[in-house]
Structure 1
Amino acid sequence: MSPDDGDVNRPRRGRPVDHHIDAALVAAAHAVFAELGWRGTTVERVATRAGVSRASAYRRCESRYGLLMLMMGDIYERVPVADTGTLRGDLVALMEDVARVWRDPAHVRFLAAVVSAQHEDERLSQAYLTQFTQRRAATSVIVQRAAQRGELARPGQGDLLLDMLAGIVAQVVLLRRAPLAPDFAEQVVDALLNGFGTA
């Protein structure tokens, strides 16, 4: 072990987590990402922007993939799961929140980077998959409630319904690079429920 390695490792012993450094790195990472994009976002640049040492930055994120994980936080926190009493109401509320987030260009660029980068780094992929799995479990409650109310003709296809809703947003924003219409949520939900609903 080199002297430098020892200096990097020693502060971990008994030192409490400094959330101020984490917050500074997250803010700096978002700023550098906005200016230089995913490929231009490096640990060194983020450390300099945050005003922290490179050693501190590398302890928290060893690479640009680690930076994405630090930036990611709870990627779904801005999209709550509603309980309006009807399947249509729940899905429209969900998709309105989704559309609001996907109308934010900075958020779209970040999500596109995460989707691309997760194929290059296993830890980032697992971190994203964990969040997605937890989110799917939360949103699945919507279709479970609808099935109990008799609102779904094919209750076993709830995951397919949710996949289609999510896929449409990605198709429009990421692939077509088109804006989401003001009534996007209602249009999409009503179109899908014509095939999934009992009416």
Structure 2
Amino acid sequence: MATERGRPRDADIDAALESALLTLLAESSLSAVTVSKLIQAAGTSKPAFYRRYESLGHFLTELLVKWLSTDGTADTGSLRSDIEFIQRDQVVMFTSAIPSESIGVILASVRESPVTARTFYEKFLRPRRDAVIRVLERAVARGEIPPVADPEWVVDLISAPFLMRAVLPGVGAIDESLVQLTTDNVLRELKAETRPGSGSAVAREARQDAPRTYPPSRPHGADDGVVLFPSANEANGA
């Protein structure tokens, strides 16, 4: 992240920008938020903003790192329940907390800005992927699965369906049926036993439900005070 030269960074400005974003989202969608509106609501200036962030996407990425847990895992004692925990954490992350619009803004900024891409990867994505790899290593140590030849690929299998449905919501719902479907598929890939009847049939039945509406007309939590991202405890169900 960019920092001010020659003097300590003023934490009050960062707090004001964060508060201003939440205020703006209580009144409109993220698509209506601009840097100009953000700095006006925060009572600061464009130079102060751009000393800290390259873009709105960079700013949102830093908030993602701050507000979301970078370890969406738990050691439950079994691989199935460990994977289910990860997937339910993703349900929270992609539905009840982050407006779908913000995902697009962040991904666009990641593609265009090396600073944002590095921030997203090093501070958020890599720690979460490493946490999942530790889950796989524990399962190997418990004797539940053989050694994993390509753990990075398994992490992709775990996360890609949720990201796909968040970016392209017409593909399907992000819900418990997806949790079970993806968990079963990952366990099969890892040559672990799956619980009979737990995944695909449940998912097929659940797809008959009414489709989710995206993007939401208001950010999640607007009735209670906007919550753009959950805290680490909220993201992990604490």
With normalisation by structure 2, the TM-score equals 0.67
Q: Provide, for residues 79-131 of structure 1, a one-character-per-residue CA deviation record: whole Å limited to 9, x for no partner.
A: 63100011111110111111122113744321222112211111111111212
| Residue identity in the other structure for 1:133 | R
| Distance of 1:142 and 1:57 partners within structure 2 | 39
* Higher Rg: 1
> Which residue does the alignment assign to 1:4?
none
Please state if 1:52 is matched with 2:57.
no
**8 A contact 2:70–2:127 mirrored in 1:** no
| Distance of 1:55 and 1:124 partners within structure 2 | 18
Q: Provide, for residues 139-174 of structure 1, a one-character-per-residue CA deviation record: whole Å limited to 9, x for no partner.
A: 210001111122224512322222111011122232
User: What RMSD over aligned residues (CA atoms) do the two structures have, in Å?
Assistant: 2.8
Q: CA deviation at 1:46?
A: 0.9
Count of equivalent residues: 188
- When residues 78 and 136 of structure 1 are mapped into structure 2, their CA distance, relative to the original with a 3 A threshold, is closer
Please state if 1:161 is matched with 2:151.
no
Please state if 1:190 is matched with 2:179.
no
**8 A contact 1:43–1:67 mirrored in 2:** no
Structure 1: give runs of 5+ residues left out of the alignment.
Answer: 1-8
**8 A contact 2:71–2:128 mirrored in 1:** no
| Residue identity in the other structure for 1:17 | R
**Match for residue 85 of structure 2 among 93, 101, 106:** 93
SS at match of 1:104: helix
| Distance of 1:26 and 1:84 partners within structure 2 | 35
**8 A contact 2:71–2:131 mirrored in 1:** no
> Which residue does the alignment assign to 1:6?
none
| Distance of 2:62 and 2:148 partners within structure 1 | 37
> Which residue does the alignment assign to 2:145?
152
| Distance of 1:75 and 1:140 partners within structure 2 | 22
> Which residue does the alignment assign to 2:136?
143
| Distance of 2:96 and 2:19 partners within structure 1 | 17
> Which residue does the alignment assign to 2:126?
133
**8 A contact 2:78–2:139 mirrored in 1:** yes
Percent identical: 22
**8 A contact 1:27–1:50 mirrored in 2:** yes
| Distance of 1:139 and 1:31 partners within structure 2 | 34
Which structure has greater helix proportion? 1
Higher RCO, Cα 8 Å, sep 6+:
2
SS at match of 1:155: coil
| Distance of 2:108 and 2:54 partners within structure 1 | 18
> Which residue does the alignment assign to 2:73?
81
Q: CA deviation at 1:36?
A: 5.5
| Distance of 1:164 and 1:129 partners within structure 2 | 18
